[in-house]
Amino acid sequence: MSHVSFSDIAIVSCGTLSLELNYLKKEGFLDAHSLYYTKPGLHQDIPELERQLVDRITKAKEKVSKIIVVYGGKFCYVNMDEPTRTMQKIIEEQGTGVVRIHATHCMDMLASEAEREKIAQEIAGGEKVWWMTPGWIKYREDVFKGWDKSVANENFPRHTGGAVVLDGIGYLDQYMAEKPEEFLEYADWMGIPMQPYPISLDRFKSLLSDQAEKLK
């Protein structure tokens, strides 16, 4: 993968993906001018999501003229009160120089639909899987804000293939080693087994690079 510079670009992202973005920054791939995060889990609070997203983009614009938004299009922003209002529409309203990564949600940024189907086939025999990223573990209180055991029971058990964490940064192995009781409690609350699936961050890098190229 040819390296693209992000030195004159700001990244505005959902905080759920801060782990991967900070990792890419530390390893030297993401030499972004600046990184701005919204609070994790705002897909459950659409007005606040929009408020924070526009606020971070406005702040970023004070520093640079090129911005990549790291938010999914289809699932991260679902406006029930105004169904025709989409994530793409919000991005377009921000003017030139603001683009969005091409993916439906954070899991899709790390592994494509075809890749996820292959993983599900490999480790769950093709059964339905509840996909997660490391941010869904670290920011559990935000991502599942307001979920009690009854809501968990309505949602998780139908995923008979269990929960699979797409882990490109070795987070879950460390989490299980350092906080085994917390990990077991999390899986027990979900009512399904949870396991990591090691991936590379090549797809994520590629999606970011595509938008950086577009901004050149």
By residue count, the chain amounts to 216
At 147, the amino acid letter reads: W
Same domain, 66 and 169: no
Tens of pLDDT along the chain (216 residues) come to: 567 999 999 999 999 999 999 999 999 999 999 999 999 988 888 889 999 999 999 999 999 999 999 999 877 877 778 888 888 899 999 999 999 999 999 999 999 999 999 999 999 998 999 999 999 999 999 999 989 989 999 999 999 999 999 999 999 999 999 999 999 999 999 999 999 999 999 999 999 999 999 998
> Cβ–Cβ contacts within 10 Å for residue 155, how many?
15
Residue 183 placed within a domain: yes
Residue 148 placed within a domain: yes
Residue 4 placed within a domain: no
Contact 100, 108 (CB under 8 A): no
DSSP code at position 147: -
Same domain, 21 and 44: yes
Alpha carbons within 13 A on the beta-carbon side of 30: 24
Tally of domains within the chain: 2
Same domain, 81 and 188: no
Same domain, 15 and 92: yes
For the full predicted model, state whether its pTM sits above 0.85.
yes
What is the span of the domain harbouring residue 33? 9-106+201-215
